[in-house]
Structure 1
Amino acid sequence: MSGRLTGKTAVVTGSSRGIGRGTAIALAEMGATVYITGRNTGSGPLTIDTTAKMVEDAGGVGIPVRVDHGDDRQIAELFDRVRVEAGKLHVLVNNVYKIPDPPAWGGGFWEHPVSIWDDQVGIGLRAHYVASWHAAPLLFEGGPGGSIMNVSSPGGSSYHFSSSYGAGKAGLDRLSADMALELKPKGIACCSIYPGSVATEFILEWAGKRGSDLSTAQTTLGVGRAIAALAVAPDLMERSGTIQWVEDISEQFDVRDENGNLAPRYPGRVRR
């Protein structure tokens, strides 16, 4: 799929690390110019500048933009910059997310501070809506075939971590379905993406402390390559409005991670 996105522009929110970084690199492997957003800058390992260097090394153009996605003004300024510099947009990947500190995993909702709602739904569902609102006119300028990819989770359809987490992901799935209906006349697709367990930097650290088994975990680059493959899929519009599992995309398009493996299946997947 090399070169499929040459001359195309993408925005990946929350791409200083994790799935966002993996997706930015995967889009770069196809030749895209990628706007990389996040709050951390500089030469450290988990910064937008380091991701930009990885994007360049992968064959794309990386443009780091410091954005706090809890600030609507900064989101607006990001897309103003895209308009000035690129004039259009072809792919928006809504990935940014704020993990509560400490993480709200398990226990009753009444045992966690109310602020985790703002962490998990504000810097998540709301930020995705705001980014999509600003991106839509630029996607229209890019013409039919553009897409919004919303990085969701199996937590949108079954219990994972906390009530607020589930509400944010279920809301994102509904947002994807409804935006797809509204975008269809413009030829723009919108999908929810369901990775399985993913070996992000945070999960690797967490698993190391608890001795958890990550043998069935997907890699961040593997997830990113699945998202990139979906963005150029010939039947993308037929998939618009649906939940797309990374493991399914991997099998259907023979998308392999940096180790040459298809995406492992998620053991907790509820099959209907």
Structure 2
Amino acid sequence: MGNVVVVTGATRGLGRGAAREFGAQGATVVATGRNEDDLAAVAGEITERGGKAVPITCNHSDDAAVEAAFQQIEGELGGIDILLNNAAAVHAAELVAPQPFWEKPLKLVDMIDVGLRSNYVASFYAAPMMVKAGKGLIASISFYGAVSYFHGPAYGAAKAGTDKMMADMAIDLAPYGVAAISYWPGFVLTDAVRAMPKEILPPGIQENLPNWETPEFTARVINALYSDANLMKQSGQALIGAEYAECQGISDVDGKQPISYRKTMGSPHIPFSSVRGQPS
């Protein structure tokens, strides 16, 4: 029997590709999202690839809805092996605009709510099931923007906060055999990016698209990490997916080896733990 994997925000972007790849690996994939039609489409993609799909309509800005979703998961599936926190309120057009933050819409701060805060809430409801089972992995999507300027302070705060939050969750979860990591993908060739006419892409991006990793790659890395005998040694870290994949011999679905942007965009901070008494 495959793993039970919950992917929040699974109707688009990285989450959608990860959900279908977890399905290809034989998992039971719980896909959450706000739009029922999009969820039905994702469920079809998961099923087509050999997985079992459990679509759950859920607005991750509503704590009660999140609680109900995890109660449903526990009731129907009994527990969770992997939680991939991917849901985020990303207003893409405004986010990437070149203006300073005070000249952009205030709604950009929403990603601290649906993003950083919603990761906490989903983890809050997933953790007791994992603790009870004595195993599990909570992975939250972050990015190099946690340590370098990328799209402004709302984005940076959400990602830096995610890194610290997962490091602290890892300390609480360690005695129970449950791991928590912050996961850094590279630039991701999502379905939306793939569908864009090449001529409208900004200069430089079109040429680099072949180097961008697929959204499925994240699921490959997370699945391998969960099966890694050294999983608990990785817990608490901000993990660059491309670097872990290279060490483990994991390639993308198209056969390429995705690249790390450590040298050009920064590297994860190593949090110091007063509980462990040493860098984690």
Give the alignment's TM-score, normalised by structure 2. 0.87
Give the structure with the higher percent helix. 2
Offset of residue 25 of structure 1: 2.2
Offset of residue 75 of structure 1: 0.5
Inter-partner Cα distance in structure 1 for 2:129 and 2:140? 17
Among candidates 30, 40, 47, match of residue 25 of structure 2: 30
Inter-partner Cα distance in structure 1 for 2:101 and 2:215? 29
Structural mapping, 1:143-222, within 5 Å: 143-144=134-135, 146-204=136-194, 205=196, 209-211=200-202, 212-213=205-206, 214-222=209-217
RMSD, aligned α-carbons: 1.9
Offset of residue 206 of structure 1: 8.9
1:53 and 2:66 aligned: no
Offset of residue 10 of structure 1: 1.4
Partner amino acid, structure 2, of 1:97: A
User: Which residue of structure 2 lines up, in the alignment, with residue 117 of structure 1?
Assistant: 109
User: Which residue of structure 1 lines up, in the alignment, with residue 129 of structure 2?
Assistant: 138
Instruction: Note closer, same or farther for the CA distance 1:206–1:167 as it changes in structure 2 (3 Å cut).
Output: farther
Look up the SS of the partner of 1:14 in the other structure: coil
Look up the SS of the partner of 2:83 in the other structure: strand
Inter-partner Cα distance in structure 2 for 1:151 and 1:262? 20
Inter-partner Cα distance in structure 2 for 1:206 and 1:78? 37
8 Å CA contact retained: 1:23, 1:228? no
Offset of residue 252 of structure 1: 1.6
Unaligned residue ranges in structure 2 (runs of 5+): 269-280
Q: Give per-residue Cα distances to partners, 1:81-116, cap 9 Å, x unaligned.
A: 011101211111000112126422232111112221
Offset of residue 148 of structure 1: 0.1
- Paired residues in the alignment total 261
Inter-partner Cα distance in structure 1 for 2:66 and 2:131? 18
Among candidates 71, 87, 99, match of residue 107 of structure 1: 99
8 Å CA contact retained: 2:131, 2:173? no
1:268 and 2:260 aligned: no
Q: Give per-residue Cα distances to partners, 1:217-238, cap 9 Å, x unaligned.
A: 1111122211222222221100
Instruction: Note closer, same or farther for the CA distance 1:169–1:236 as it changes in structure 2 (3 Å cut).
Output: same
User: Which residue of structure 1 lines up, in the alignment, with residue 82 of structure 2?
Assistant: 91
Offset of residue 69 of structure 1: 0.8
Q: Give per-residue Cα distances to partners, 1:106-161, cap 9 Å, x unaligned.
A: 3211111222112x1111001100000011111123322x1100111111111101
Unaligned residue ranges in structure 1 (runs of 5+): 1-5
1:39 and 2:34 aligned: yes
Among candidates 216, 223, 227, match of residue 218 of structure 2: 223
8 Å CA contact retained: 1:33, 1:60? yes
Look up the SS of the partner of 2:140 in the other structure: strand
8 Å CA contact retained: 1:107, 1:162? no
Inter-partner Cα distance in structure 2 for 1:59 and 1:143? 27
Offset of residue 251 of structure 1: 0.6
Inter-partner Cα distance in structure 1 for 2:2 and 2:132? 14
Offset of residue 193 of structure 1: 0.5
Look up the SS of the partner of 2:64 in the other structure: helix
Instruction: Note closer, same or farther for the CA distance 1:133–1:208 as it changes in structure 2 (3 Å cut).
Output: farther
Deviating above 6 A after TM superposition, structure 1's stretches of 4 or more consecutive aligned residues are none
| Percentage identity across paired residues of the two chains | 34
8 Å CA contact retained: 1:147, 1:190? yes
Instruction: Note closer, same or farther for the CA distance 1:101–1:206 as it changes in structure 2 (3 Å cut).
Output: farther
- Structure 1 range deviating more: 7-16 or 70-79: 7-16
Partner amino acid, structure 2, of 1:224: A
User: Which residue of structure 2 lines up, in the alignment, with residue 3 of structure 1?
Assistant: none
Partner amino acid, structure 1, of 2:120: Y
